[in-house]
Amino acid sequence: MAIFDPTTLPTLVISLISIAVVLYAVISIKRGKEFTIREIPGLKAIDDAVGRATEMGTPVLFTPGWGGDIQRPTTIASMNILSSVAEKTAEYDCRLIYPTHDPVIMAVAQEVVKEGCLKAGYPDRYRADDIFYITSSQFGYAAAVDGIISRTKPASIFLLGTFEAESLIMAETGNAVGAIQIAGTDSTIQLAFFIVACDYTLIGEELFAASGYLSKNKSILSSVKAQDILKLLIALFITTALIWATIDPKSSWWKY
Amino acid sequence: MRVKIPLAICFLSGAIMFIQYFSRHPLAKAVYNGILDWWQIIFAFTLFVGVAAFIKSGLKSVSWSKARPSTGRKTDAPYKAISLVGLALMPILALAGGTKFGSPFLWVFDNMQAPMQSTVFSLLAFFVASASFRGFRARTIPATILLISALFVLLGRIPVADYFTESLAKATFWIQDYPSMAARRAILIGIGLGSMTTALRVILGIERTYLRGER
């Protein structure tokens, strides 16, 4: 029985190139190379959103959506933002509500928020009851979150994670109660809804760059830089294939 | 130790899942299926924790003890009470009458739960209309281009459009296949790269937010 599956060769090559680029970026920054990250309005607005909720005396609502579980990179990325939001809400003594559809996400979110409160210097402001599991049913979850939004009227809503059809139901309800909304997801279909219904939308890789942007951690920032290098490589590949296809229409080496 | 052990487990799990993807050896398949089984077991146990937390929070809301107004527990109480009744009732009905056709469990599911889910889903139609109304306001040049493109696509996708002109349908498909697809693919490349670097950060231990927020 063959150990290696030859049909996965292109994926292996691309994965190894990507790992090499990420490691190169991490090593470069450790040797003192400086990287800058462009301003992301959606992430810059987190302070304003939490400040607004504090001033209005209403809670902040954070939902990771219904579509994903903890192993999805989008959920991990949303946890990074939750950490910063939890720190800010603890600092300003603002209530943070986190309803979820997945008990594993609930357990991780409780730990992340607890640590956020600890970092802010207010461990007593952590409320475990506000990070809770509702249901695994998609529209049951959407109805419950809509109900919470309608009753508590949060001044700020964060819709960051994996969303499906429930995205617009939640975003429009948030819009109806006048909340400032910051959204981000990995689904291009749901992104269109968020752009229309929310004040700020994290598009594409912006959601994944949040961790480095908010923490200013150099190692994380270096991986964001690696994303840019990889994007450049992909652009070069597409351009080469485009020119090649124009000169030799029968060629198809890039379709391996 | 509190950080090093989870990091080591994370690295090993990530490395094993990465390596097994490139192998067709039966051992790789067995490892993959074993990890999936473990995941199901962990999920089942955390589901107990989730449901227990839900019951605890529900009972707190419906209890007569004084709740702080800021927690919103008083306004939640009727909804929490109904959800607790539903949570208790469904397993009782399933145990008492089974889940086959004609059972009380299935009757409740078909006549109460399914219509409620459909009702929430149907709200989407109204929300799409209100969101489109806001989104398609021709305030700027890009917004006007978006509005005109949307009108083309909307008109081109209705069956009656074919009776008037074929070029409208062609224009619709051109918008969807070229400018729209190009923008979607650009976003998808960004998302793919972001997902991959996030996964690498977690596997290599650079990203530690899931470990009680440690970075």
Q: How many Å apart are CA B31 and CA A205, to the nearest integer? A: 32
Which of the four CATH numbers 2.60.40, 2.40.50, 3.40.50, 2.40.128 does domain A41-212 have?
Answer: 3.40.50
Parallel/antiparallel/unpaired status of strands A200-202 and A180-184: parallel
Using the predicted structure, report yes or no on whether residue B68 has a pLDDT greater than 70.
no
How far apart are the CA of A245 and the nearest CA of chain B, in angstroms?
A: 18
Number of Cβ within a 10 Å radius of residue B124: 19
- Whether residues B135 and A168 touch (CB distance < 8 A) is answered with no
Q: How far is B59 from chain A (nearest CA, A)?
A: 12
Contact residues, chain A, for B23 at CB < 8 Å = 3-5
Q: B65: pLDDT confidence band, cut at 50, 70 and 90?
A: low
Residue B53 φ/ψ, nearest 5 degrees:
-65, -40
| Residue contact A5–B46, C-beta within 8 A | no
CB spacing of A152 vs B189 below 8 angstroms:
no
Q: Model ipTM?
A: 0.88
Per-residue pLDDT of chain A (256 residues; tens, 9 = 90+): 678 899 999 899 999 999 999 999 988 888 888 777 888 899 999 999 999 999 999 999 999 999 888 889 999 999 989 999 999 999 999 999 999 999 999 999 999 999 999 999 999 999 988 999 999 999 999 999 999 999 999 999 999 999 999 999 999 999 999 999 999 999 999 999 999 999 999 998 899 988 888 878 888 888 888 999 999 999 999 999 999 999 998 888 877 6
CA-nearest of A61, A39, A45 to A209 is A39
List CB contacts (< 8 A) between B213 and chain A: 83, 86, 111-112, 114-116, 119
What are the backbone dihedrals phi and psi of residue A2, each rounded to the nearest 5 degrees, phi first? -70, 140
B50 contacts in chain A (CB < 8 Å): 102-103, 106, 133
pLDDT at A102: 93
Full-model pTM: 0.90
Return mean pLDDT, chain A: 91
CA distance A161 to B23: 31
pLDDT of residue B186: 93
**Domain spans of chain B?**
1-97, 98-134
Return the axis-axis angle of helices A188-197 and A166-176, rounded to nearest 10°.
10
Search chain A and give the residue with CA nearest B70. Answer: A58
Of the residues B2, B18, B132, B215, the best mutation for testing chain A's interface (the one with the most A CB atoms within 10 Å of its CB) is B215
